[in-house]
Structure 1
Amino acid sequence: MSDPLDALHEPVRPVDPDPAFAARLRARLEREVLAAPRPERGDAMTATTTAPTRATDLALHSITPYIAVPDAAAALDFYVGAFGAVRRGDPIVMPDGRIGHAEVAIGDSVLMLAEQFPEMGIVAPREGESPASMRLEVPDPDAVVDRAVELGARLERPVSDSPYGRGGVVVDPAGHRWMVSREPATERPLQVGDVGYASLWRRDVGAAERFYGAVLGWSIEGDHAGQGRRVTGTEQHLGLYGGQDASTTLCCYAVDDVDATVALVRAAGGTADEPTDEPFGRTASCVDDQGIPFAVFVPEPGSTRPDTTATGTLTYLTIEVPDAGRARAFYGTVLGWGFRPGRVAEGWHAVSGSGDDTAPTTGLFGGAEAASVVPMFVVDDVAAAVAAVRAGGGTADDPADAGYGVSARCTDDQGAAFWVVRY
């Protein structure tokens, strides 16, 4: 005879929890799980950036060029100045004073060189002859070729477009031929969590228009009697907006469903206006749980990621917040972001739900006194941009090689922080 309790027993049927409860639970769990101790905090930008591996840590590839040059010290200076190379250790100097070995890192690769030793059959190219070529991949071949020529390279072929990309050819002062190139851009779809539009919010939009026009070379148009401005001539959608008490960068993030995202924002502790249908699509204005304003929208089908390495573009964002754990939980819930640890305490690197970097690349930094979003922009010449910042009433650190490029932290004439970089 069966047990009556067994006979009356109902099988366990899983149920779907309330979406708002699930969002709150996820936020709470992420705050607890991701709160891991880290090294001491440092600079917000360098703390969160997943910069290229340090020059001394680069692993050698299957093939590493090892070239002979007439003057190794001069060649090293040229490669550092023209190609952004980073020295790897100290050169090895032979008893007769010649440099027998030296290394630099260029991007993700290593270049080895030595002065020529004719007695050993090791010689530099003869004038007018270059038996081999090296191809150098860069984001901006025009700027690199111009810089190389300024530092003494001979221009063999001006930069131009071709089916294989954009590039030009120079012969360096040591006689080596360089094909400076950029592969054709491959269109990648805009993903959930990517920025489709960004606007610098400032108190005085007229002052911001003059300042950033001078520093970044932006062409700006808009209703000059109102608060809105639009940056023209860039693939990215960028703008300025005035009348704001607190300076920040408003990011409009791509999502699949604005209404569902609004519910997640509210469940995760933020606030959100009711969605509206605009000429560019359905959108909603939101504020995160630490006071940062943002917006969400559904991009048009076929929308692609813009180039974030071109001059004047927004290439990196740092979300600075008092509590990084809360921010990770909030943006993980709302935008589906994951996070990789940065290099110091409270520094994190955001990745999209697909595992790719966000566009533009985004870092998160905790421990800030006030919540804000700090942008980084690409410039042709960091020193010139720094001079323009100071001339325009802002402040700027001196340019420094950060490993991923030459950069400088600045504040504009209204006290808002931003960065400039040359990759």
Structure 2
Amino acid sequence: MADPLEALRASITPADPDPVFAARLRERLRRELLRPTGADTGGIMPTTTARTGGASGPATPAEPAEPEARVHSLTPYLCVDDAPRALEWYARVLGARRRGEPVMMEDGRVGHAELEIGDSVLMLADEWPELELLGPKTRGGPSQSVYLTVPDVDTVVARAVEEGAELARPVADYPHGRNGVIVDPFGHRWMVTSPPAPTPGPRHGDIAYASLLLPDVERATDFYGSVLGWRFAPGSAAQGRRVQGLPHQRIGLWGGQGHRTLFLYFAVDDVHAAAERVRSAGGAAEEPHDEPFGRVSKCTDDQGMDFALFNEPGSAPASSTGAGRPSPPVSASQGEISYLTLQVPDSARARAFFGTVLDWNFSPGRVPDGWSVQIDDGELHPMTGMHGGHDRPTIVPVYAVDDIDAAVSRVRAAGGTATEPERRPYGTLAECVDDQGSRFYLGSE
């Protein structure tokens, strides 16, 4: 009788797995086998190596660690017509770093390779026509762009072109940053970009925020939206509005107020120290507290002017004059404040107070008892003056406009009053009053 097991035995036919799947599986197994365990590293993956002290000399600090590259939710996987050359090119031109060894197939093609660029991983492989995996050169051109952020886009794009890339779009500045576009030697399109430089923040003594106080905030949005083109977002309370779209300044409206003036937030390096100076100079200062937009102390000077001291989140205290900080832009755009006049009862007392609190300096202005305000590294921003002899403290702004004649017409059409524009040595001005009695000027160069 035949052995039933032998009768049922079938010959073994080796399976021929998909080569790309096999390569990826082998690479995943290799990584898992080589991955350090928590017992090996104390649960912390080492990122830098430092030389320890001993006979060779004192210890040296570890070099700053590169950002940890990892596979994100969306990771580019490129198909190229010469993967070994691409690995070298991306390393030489884009600063990429090898991530493990490429998985080589029996026919010499790269089945899978990875590079680290910044905190991201770039995967690539050779072409596999039998699997319809083809690079852009074979298909006739790229169908997507790889977006790459670098510290210096000009240098990277220039180096890429020197190394054989095609310049598809020269480097230029855009609202979202400075960028250029290249097509690499393997046909892939790269948009190389550097983020826009941060706008210099206000210096110690500058005006960081101005809030226009008036009776009816809804009427004010209609008026100033029509006259200056302001757009608004809700403020922190029902009476508040924030002006949107101004490139250099932060301005708001606050309704329900009888005294029509501006409430100013002055930037300081240390709110607590500045509040103490307010009290020492004869004013009043609330205990500083943190708001979502920064640390604030609301104050009143020794003549009844209300204002606030302000420090943005993350700002470290510096010198009392903000020495060494870049000066913010001084030219106001359409709808921004180009000049402020602090009208005060006694200019000598006001100069002494704000000189003590904000380190302001003063020089005589063009009119009697008029004074220009400076800080140690230049003009205040916005430019500011002071004028004495007034019944109560009031702050009067000059708003910059591109076409002063058209703006004067809009003031009158919106229910306000305006004088005819008059040429002055420093520009053209028109004195105005809005439809709720707030005084202001329009100005153009």
TM-score range, shorter chain: 0.5 to 0.7
Q: How far apart are residue 189 of structure 1 and its match? A: 4.8
The answer to whether residue 420 in structure 2 is matched with residue 407 in structure 1 is no
Partner of 2:362: 339
Letter in 2 for 1:198: A
Q: Is the contact between residue 255 and residue 297 of structure 1 (CA under 8 Å) also seen in structure 2?
A: yes
2:204 is the counterpart of 1:192: yes
Q: Does 1:263 align with 2:285?
A: no
Gaps of 5+ in 1: 1-160, 164-183
Question: SS at the partner of 1:229?
Answer: strand
Corresponding position of 1:211? 223
How does the TM-score come out when normalised to structure 1? Answer: 0.54
Query: CA separation in 2, counterparts of 1:208 and 1:273?
Result: 29
The runs of 5 or more residues in structure 2 that have no matched partner are 1-170, 174-195, 316-324
Give the paired residue count: 244
* Cα drift, residue 190 of structure 1: 2.2
Amino acid at match of 1:202: L
- 2:22 maps to which residue? none
Separation (CA, whole Å) in 1 of partners of 2:363 and 2:377: 10
Q: In structure 1, what is the Cα distance between the partners aligned to 2:231 and 2:276?
A: 38
Of the three residues 380, 404, 407, the one matched with 1:358 is: 380
Please give the alpha-carbon distance, in whole angstroms, between the structure 2 residues aligned to 1:380 and 1:372.
26
Check the 8 A contact 1:308/1:314 in 2, yes or no: no
Q: Does 1:373 align with 2:386?
A: no
User: Is structure 2 residue 321 aligned with structure 1 residue 297?
Assistant: no
Letter paired with 2:284: T
Cα 1:224–1:213 change in 2 (3 A) is farther
Q: In structure 2, what is the equivalent of residue 285 of structure 1?
A: 298
Contact 2:327/2:377 (8 A) holds in 1? no
Structure 1 letter corresponding to 2:223: F
Q: Alignment RMSD, CA only?
A: 2.7
3-state SS in 1 of match to 2:252: strand
Rounded to whole Å, the distance in 1 between the matches of 2:442 and 2:199 is 25
C-alpha distance in 1 between matches for 2:397 and 2:197: 23
1:311 is paired with a residue whose SS is coil
Q: Deviations over 1:269-327 (max 9, x none)?
A: 21111111111221111111222111111134489735542111111110001111111
Q: Which amino acid aligns with 2:242?
A: R
Counterpart of 1:192, as a letter, is H
* Residues 1:393 and 2:415 aligned together: yes
Question: Structure 1 residue runs of 4+, over 6 Å off?
Answer: none
Report percent identity of matched pairs.
Answer: 48
Q: 1:162 to 1:311 in 2, by over 3 A?
A: farther
Distance 1:347 1:304, change over 3 A: closer
**Aligned residue in 1 for 2:252:** 239
Name the amino acid aligned to 1:268: A
Query: CA separation of 1:304/1:239 partners in 2, compared to 1, >3 Å: closer, same or farther?
Result: farther
* C-alpha separation in 2, matches of 1:259 and 1:192: 14
Q: Secondary structure at the match of 2:379?
A: coil
Tell me the amino acid that sits aligned with residue 374 of structure 1: V
1:189–1:238 distance in 2 versus 1, CA, 3 Å: closer
Give a deviation string over 1:304-355, Cα, whole Å, max 9, x none.
7355421111111100011111110111011000101112211000001x24
User: Where does residue 81 of structure 1 map in the other structure?
Assistant: none
Q: Aligned pair in 2 of structure 1 residues 185, 276: CA closer, same or farther (>3 Å)? A: closer
Greater Rg by CA: 2
2:444 equivalent to 1:422: yes
Distance 1:253 1:224 in 2: 19
SS at match of 2:278: helix
For the residues of structure 1 that align with 2:343 and 2:202, how far apart are their CA atoms?
24
- Aligned twin of 2:233: 221
The separation in 1 between residues aligned to 2:336 and 2:215, in whole angstroms, is 22
Q: CA separation in 2, counterparts of 1:274 and 1:204?
A: 30
